[in-house]
């Protein structure tokens, strides 16, 4: 190692990132390896201008060239641990920055280490925020990140955000700051509306992907902006446009024109304000589509009695769309239109009917044609019978999600253990299942564990709390136990129903690969938590609600919390004393407690706990109802 390199190491470790220094090299020689260079290979090209490099730098050159081929972030993390030279080389060649918890690291630090990244994947709130368990205003704002990137990454191309709060101003800054920006994907985010979308449409001239998935797009009715019209008038490079979650109507004329001038468009998912007649127009314009979100899939009743779209006409549109592999939407599907999709069923790889109240009878003719289906999302209105039909045909099914039509604890659900057994027998290649039901048996779950050995994700939600096996009356321990025992590739598990400590003993003993575990209304005592924290060595994300786990259980995980992304617990038996102890013993852990907002934060009981490792200590945007210990 040369002196230069030594000096550089120290600099990197102690220096705080500042915009002025962004990109300027601390490497010996101060060559033009910085942000101003062209995109590809700039880091390596820069070196050519230097005086003949020392052997250490030759090695780093070579290393960088090799590491460019390494894409998987886990491999990259491993490579960066080899030695300082590899650390630097890896940092310079990492193109995609994945940050699983936006508070685990600060923008300054992340951008300071990885200077050449072109893509950012950022996740914010814990998953239970989807179910209103995280109070509004908790955090996870995109603003500091976009501000930092605007200065540090002018070549940024892709951003994917999940559960973050993104404001219209953030979107506007994003659109203005990055000239090569091409992909924006927002999943389960909030805080923005149509003005932000308009900015993106207008200013991102190279936009290829605009995917808005399950976001909370709030607009004052008076302030809705016609963002579709803001796309450039010329041919666009759009490949994917998804706006199913945007709740306000869009300007259809503009949309149709946009589709017509987007020759590369392959994925189009419209919102429920697009009628089936309008959909047909769009399909005519874009017969090359591979992914289609159909919007409402019903005719808007027209006052002047204009003719409704004929099913045959609609079917002909589907005949013409020969490339369709993925269908979704069907937000208000009129059952008589469903047969129109028959022509494409044989080619479908993914079908999402989870907004359509289809009965088994309506589903059967569709599903029996879908031999190649790998992903299937459906409502429980199809019942066990519908699932049987799916099991009969879809031999290649990899992912199944059965959502509840009536998501309450005492609703009547048409799916049960029988459906689960049918699926397990018919779809033995199943890898991922999410199943909502009211009645389940251990036997059915055991059967699935034996038939579907490839299961990686098993999420069973018995909606009635503490509900046992409906035939034997026993807890559901044995069923879930069989899953962890038999499905050796399992990495994600969500349990429900009546469960004792036993199931956690099973999970600890057999679930050695489990990374994500969701627990609700389960267990008897701290033993459960102890089992899991001591036994599941790969556990990264643990989310628990309404289970009788207290401080003793919490403290049993002290050895493991640094290896985890986060632990979430709400409505358990935690106390402030226990949480404080964890915070004290693990200084690199951020321990957030928050209660319901109408309670004093001083009371000893902790209603909600969220703890996560962090390189930068407590965050500075803590709202009033959160206390960091």
Partner 1 sequence: MEEEFTRGEGRPRLLDLIPNGRDWGSYAAAEEKKLELRLGLPGGEDWSAGQEKREHPVESALSLDHISKVRKSTNVNASSGTKRGFLVQVEPKTEGILIDNMTFQQQQLQQQQLGFLQLQAKGKESLQKTSGSAEQQSLEGKGCGPHAAHASSTKNAAVAHTASQSRAAATPVVGWPPVRSFRMNLAGTAKASAESHNGSSEAAKKLENDRKSLFVKINMDGIPIGRKVDLKAYDSYDKLSLAVDELFRGLMAAQVDPLAPSILKNSEEKHVLIGLLDGSGEYTLVYEDDEGDRMLVGDVPWDMFVSMAKRLRVLKSSDLSASSLRAVGRKRTSNS
DSSP state of 588: T
Give me the least distance between CB of 484 and partner 1, in Å please.
Answer: 20
In order of 64, 423, 434, 468, 476, the CA distances from 412 in angstroms are: 59, 20, 18, 16, 20
Give 343 or 523: the residue with its C-beta nearer to partner 1.
523
Which of residues 233 and 410 has its CB atom nearest to partner 1 in the complex? 410
Comparison of 91 and 499: residue with beta carbon closer to partner 1: 499
What is the residue-wise DSSP string for 188-231?
S-BS--HHHHHHHHHH-TT--EEEEES-B----GGG---GGGGS
Give CA–CA dist 199/169, Å, rounded: 9
What is the helix, strand, coil percentage profile of the chain, to 5? 35, 15, 45
Q: How far is the CB of 479 from partner 1 (least distance, A)?
A: 15
Host H or E run for residue 622? none
CA distance 119 to 160: 8
Q: Residue 253 or residue 605: which is nearer to partner 1 going by CB?
A: 605
Count of H helices and E strands in the chain?
22, 21
CB of 61 to partner 1, least distance (A): 40
Which residue number, 464 or 535, has a Cβ lying nearer to partner 1?
464
Cβ at position 83, least distance to partner 1 in Å: 37
CB of residue 139 vs partner 1: minimum separation in angstroms?
Answer: 8
Two tokens, residue 513: 């690969």
3-state secondary structure of 353: strand
Q: In this complex, which beta carbon is closest to partner 1, that of residue 321 or of residue 516?
A: 516
Are residues 101 and 612 in contact, defined by beta-carbon separation less than 8 angstroms?
yes
Sign of the CA dihedral 343, 344, 346, 352? negative
**DSSP codes joined into one string, 491-505:** -EEE--SS--HHHHH
Q: Both tokens of residue 542?
A: 């643990």
Give the Cα separation of 342 and 528 in Å (integer): 49
Nearest to partner 1 of 374, 571 (CB atom): 571
> Least separation, in Å, of the C-beta of 557 and partner 1?
19
Contact 141, 169 (CB under 8 A): no
**CB of residue 112 to partner 1, shortest distance in Å:** 19
CB 505 within 8 A of CB 483: no
Nearest-approach distance from CB 517 to partner 1, in angstroms: 14
Task: Between 167 and 236, name the residue whose CB sits nearer to partner 1.
Answer: 167
Residue 291 pairs with which residues in a beta bridge? 267, 326
CB of 626 to partner 1, least distance (A): 9
Q: Which is nearer to partner 1, 81 or 605 (CB)?
A: 605
Q: How many CB atoms lie within 10 A of CB 218?
A: 12
Spatial separation of the C-alpha atoms in residues 496 and 463, rounded to whole Å = 8
Tokens at 529, concatenated? 């938590």
- Cβ-based nearer residue to partner 1, 463 or 493: 463
Can you give 227-277 as a three-state secondary structure string? HHHHCCCCCCCCCEEECCCCCCCCCHHHHHHHHHCCCCCCEEEECCCCCHH
User: Do residues 158 and 120 make contact, with C-beta atoms less than 8 angstroms apart?
Assistant: yes
Would you say 27 or 162 has its CB closer to partner 1? 162
Nearest distance from residue 270's CB to partner 1, in Å? 16
Residues near 304 by Cβ (< 8 Å), separated by ≥ 6? none
Q: From the CB of 544, what's the least distance to partner 1, in Å?
A: 12
d(CA 51, CA 552): 61
By beta-carbon proximity to partner 1, the closer residue of 75 and 336 is 336
Query: How many angstroms from the chain centroid is the CA of residue 106?
Result: 21
Pairing outcome for strands 608-613 and 566-570: antiparallel
Helix (H) or strand (E) holding 367: helix 360-367
Q: How far is the CB of 461 from partner 1 (least distance, A)?
A: 6
* Residue with smaller CB distance to partner 1, 94 or 573: 573
Would you say 262 or 381 has its CB closer to partner 1? 381
DSSP notation for 532-587 = HHHH-TT--EEEEES---BHHHHHTTTTTGGG-SEEEEESSB-BHHHHHHHHHH-T
Q: Which of 341, 320, 321, 319 is nearest to 330 (CA)?
A: 341
Shortest distance (Å) from residue 180 CB to partner 1: 28
For residues 29 and 135, which CB has a smaller minimum distance to partner 1 in the complex? 135
User: What minimum distance in Å lies between the beta carbon of 148 and partner 1?
Assistant: 12
Compute the least distance from the CB of residue 164 to partner 1, in Å: 13
């Amino acid at each position: 190692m040369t002196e230069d390199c030594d000096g550089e190491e120290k600099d990197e470790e102690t220096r705080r990132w500042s915009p002025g220094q962004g990109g300027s090299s601390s490497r010996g020689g101060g060559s033009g390896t910085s942000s101003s260079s062209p995109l590809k290979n700039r880091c390596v090209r820069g070196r050519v201008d230097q005086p003949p490099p020392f052997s250490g730098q030759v090695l780093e050159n070579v290393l960088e060239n090799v590491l460019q081929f390494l894409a998987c972030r886990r491999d990259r993390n491993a490579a960066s641990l080899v030695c300082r030279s590899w650390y630097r080389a890896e940092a310079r060649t990492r193109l995609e920055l994945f940050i699983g918890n936006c508070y685990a690291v600060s923008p300054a630090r992340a951008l300071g280490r990885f200077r050449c990244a072109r893509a950012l994947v950022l996740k914010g709130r814990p998953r239970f925020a989807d179910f209103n368990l995280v109070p509004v205003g908790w955090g996870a704002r995109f603003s500091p990140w976009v501000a930092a990137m605007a200065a540090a990454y002018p070549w940024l191309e892709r951003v994917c955000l999940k559960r973050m709060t993104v404001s219209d101003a953030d979107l506007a800054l994003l659109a203005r700051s990055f000239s090569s920006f091409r992909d924006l994907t927002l999943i389960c985010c909030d805080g923005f509306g149509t003005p932000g979308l308009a900015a993106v449409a207008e200013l991102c001239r190279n936009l290829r992907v605009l995917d808005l998935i399950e976001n909370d797009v709030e607009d004052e009715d008076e302030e809705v902006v016609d963002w579709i019209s803001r796309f450039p008038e010329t041919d666009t490079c759009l490949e994917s446009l998804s706006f199913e979650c945007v709740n306000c109507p869009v300007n259809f004329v503009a949309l149709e024109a946009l589709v017509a001038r987007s020759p590369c468009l392959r994925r189009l998912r419209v919102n429920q304000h697009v009628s089936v007649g309008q959909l047909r127009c769009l399909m005519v314009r874009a017969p090359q589509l591979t992914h289609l979100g159909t919007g409402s899939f019903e005719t808007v009743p027209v006052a002047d009695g204009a003719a409704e779209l004929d099913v045959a006409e609609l079917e002909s549109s589907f005949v013409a769309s020969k490339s369709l592999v993925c269908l979704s939407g069907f937000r208000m599907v009129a059952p008589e239109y469903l047969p129109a999709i028959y022509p494409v069923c044989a080619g479908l790889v993914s079908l999402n009917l989870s907004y359509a109240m289809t009965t088994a009878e309506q589903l059967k003719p569709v599903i029996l044609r879908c031999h190649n289906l790998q992903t299937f999302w459906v409502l429980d209105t199809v019942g066990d019978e519908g699932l049987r039909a799916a099991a009969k045909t879809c031999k290649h099914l990899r992912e199944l999600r059965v959502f509840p039509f009536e998501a309450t604890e005492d609703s009547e659900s048409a799916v049960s253990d029988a459906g689960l057994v049918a699926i397990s027998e018919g779809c033995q290649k199943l890898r991922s299942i999410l199943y909502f039901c009211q009645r389940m048996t251990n036997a059915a779950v055991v059967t699935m564990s034996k038939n579907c050995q490839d299961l990686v994700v098993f999420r069973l939600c018995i909606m009635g709390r503490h509900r046992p096996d409906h035939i034997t009356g026993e807890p559901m321990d044995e069923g879930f136990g069989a899953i962890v025992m038999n499905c050796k590739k399992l990495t994600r598990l969500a349990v429900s129903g009546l469960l004792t400590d036993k199931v956690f003993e099973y999970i600890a003993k057999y679930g050695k690969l489990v990374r994500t575990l969701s627990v609700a209304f389960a267990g008897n005592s701290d033993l459960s938590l102890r089992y899991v924290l001591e036994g599941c060595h790969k556990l990264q994300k643990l989310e628990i609600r309404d289970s009788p786990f207290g401080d003793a259980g919490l403290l049993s995980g002290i050895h493991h919390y640094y290896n985890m992304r986060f632990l979430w617990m709400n409505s358990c038996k935690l106390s402030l004393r226990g949480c404080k102890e964890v915070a004290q013993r693990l200084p690199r852990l951020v321990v957030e407690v928050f209660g319901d907002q109408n309670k004093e934060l001083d009371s000893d009981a902790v209603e909600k706990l969220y703890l996560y490792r962090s390189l930068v200590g407590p965050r500075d945007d803590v709202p009033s109802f959160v206390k960091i210990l």
